[in-house]
């Protein structure tokens, strides 16, 4: 059952907005943050609410010390066959997460497996503690990634790494994830949240409309032919050229004290 409107989430901790950043933490450590249906719906609700809140300019998505998230909750997923999955609110929850226009930075410590790895891949930037491990173990269950993992992994890490993760089910460590491009920085174990928050604050200090349009343009690189992507980029570039914020910031640069 989806949580009732306004009810405190059971599986998440959601921070107050601080300097334009909201931190959403998956907090179900007893199950290694396995993504049960309720977790997915709460995540989609929290991300959608942050996306709609003008005061939020960047989201940090974090997990626990041992696990960012160990994947979909196998105890629940075993009951869902193909038709049930198609209708299920958790499938819609993933779509709602992907529909958000708000930049999102993942802070990964411990395991990011299956749907947990796909959640990291759904973020715009990922920072890993040195003890983090990333994997798509679904194949060992006779299954396969089903939340965009095959597509986003191939796009961010390349074909060979994606095939290795998806076909063997074996995880890779944070250093390998860094080399592959799945994450942009590796920091000391325990420091991922602090570093992700610093990056999120930096993003949040930039004009909201510009960050959202620029993010959207980068995401188009994974979806469109080059010429179409460049055309879309230039449309956003021109739209921002007419904004007061751009004039104000450029004027401030030209008139800075020297
Ligand atoms: C349900 C899980 C779980 C999961 C861990 N737990 N992962 N429960 N679903 N994915 C639970 C365990 O049952 C256990 O509960 C508790 O968390 C601690 O786990 P342990 O195994 O005792 O801990 P540890 O030895 O540290 O091993 C952690 C682990 C292992 C490596 C993460 O639990 C594991 O391999 N889990 C399965 C990972 C996986 O296959 N993920 C992919 C799921 S499929 P109790 O009650 O016994 O204490 C998927 C499809 C995505 O993600 C599709 C998207 C649409």
**Residues with Cβ within 8 Å of residue 83, at least 6 apart in sequence:** none
Distance 193 CA to ligand 1 centre (A): 23
φ/ψ of residue 22, rounded to 5: -115, 135
Q: Are residues 190 and 249 in the same domain?
A: no
Cβ atoms of residues 43 and 26 within 8 Å: yes
pLDDT category of residue 6 using cuts at 50, 70 and 90: low
For residues 127 and 109, give the distance between their C-alpha atoms in angstroms, rounded to a whole number.
Answer: 9
* Catalytic, out of 46, 70, 72, 200: 72
Q: Are residues 80 and 182 in the same domain?
A: yes
Residue 191 belongs to a domain: yes
Cβ atoms of residues 110 and 132 within 8 Å: yes
Residues of the chain with pLDDT > 70: what percent? 98
118 catalytic residue (yes or no): yes
| Paired residues of 126 in beta bridges | 106
pLDDT category of residue 1 using cuts at 50, 70 and 90: very low
Domain residue limits at 250: 208-255
Q: Is the CB of 113 under 6 A from ligand 1?
A: yes
Q: Are residues 71 and 141 in the same domain?
A: yes
Q: Is the per-residue pLDDT at 3 higher than 90?
A: no
Scan for tokens 């907005």, then name that residue.
Answer: 17
For residues 33 and 154, give the distance between their C-alpha atoms in angstroms, rounded to a whole number.
Answer: 25
pLDDT tens track for 207-234: 999 999 999 999 999 999 999 999 999 9
175-199 CB burial, b ≥16 within 10 A, e <16: ebbbebebbeebbeeebbbebbbeb
Residue 3 belongs to a domain: no
Residue 213 belongs to a domain: yes
Q: Are residues 23 and 147 in the same domain?
A: yes
């Amino acid at each position: 059952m989806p949580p009732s409107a306004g009810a405190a989430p059971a599986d998440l901790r959601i921070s107050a907005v601080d300097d334009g950043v909201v931190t959403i933490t998956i907090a179900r450590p007893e199950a290694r943050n396995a993504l049960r249906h309720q977790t997915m719906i709460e995540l989609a609700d929290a991300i959608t609410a942050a996306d709609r809140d003008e005061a939020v300019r960047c989201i940090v998505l974090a997990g626990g010390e041992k696990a960012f998230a160990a994947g979909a909750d196998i105890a629940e997923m075993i009951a869902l066959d193909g038709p049930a999955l198609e209708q299920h609110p958790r499938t819609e929850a993933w779509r709602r997460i992907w529909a958000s226009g708000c930049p999102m930075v993942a802070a990964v410590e411990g395991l990011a497996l299956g749907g947990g790895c796909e959640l990291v891949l759904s973020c715009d930037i990922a920072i890993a503690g040195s003890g983090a491990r990333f994997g798509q173990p679904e194949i060992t269950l006779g299954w396969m990634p089903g939340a965009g993992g095959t597509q986003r992994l191939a796009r961010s890490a390349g074909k060979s790494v994606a095939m290795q993760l998806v076909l063997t089910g074996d995880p890779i460590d944070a250093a390998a994830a860094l080399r592959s491009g799945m994450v942009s920085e590796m920091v000391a174990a325990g420091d991922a949240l602090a570093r992700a928050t610093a990056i999120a604050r930096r993003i949040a200090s930039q004009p909201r409309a510009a960050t959202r349009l620029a993010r959207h343009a980068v995401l188009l690189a994974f979806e469109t032919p080059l010429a179409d992507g460049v055309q879309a980029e230039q449309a956003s570039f021109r739209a921002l050229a007419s904004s007061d914020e751009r004039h104000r910031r450029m004027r401030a640069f030209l008139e800075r004290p020297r």
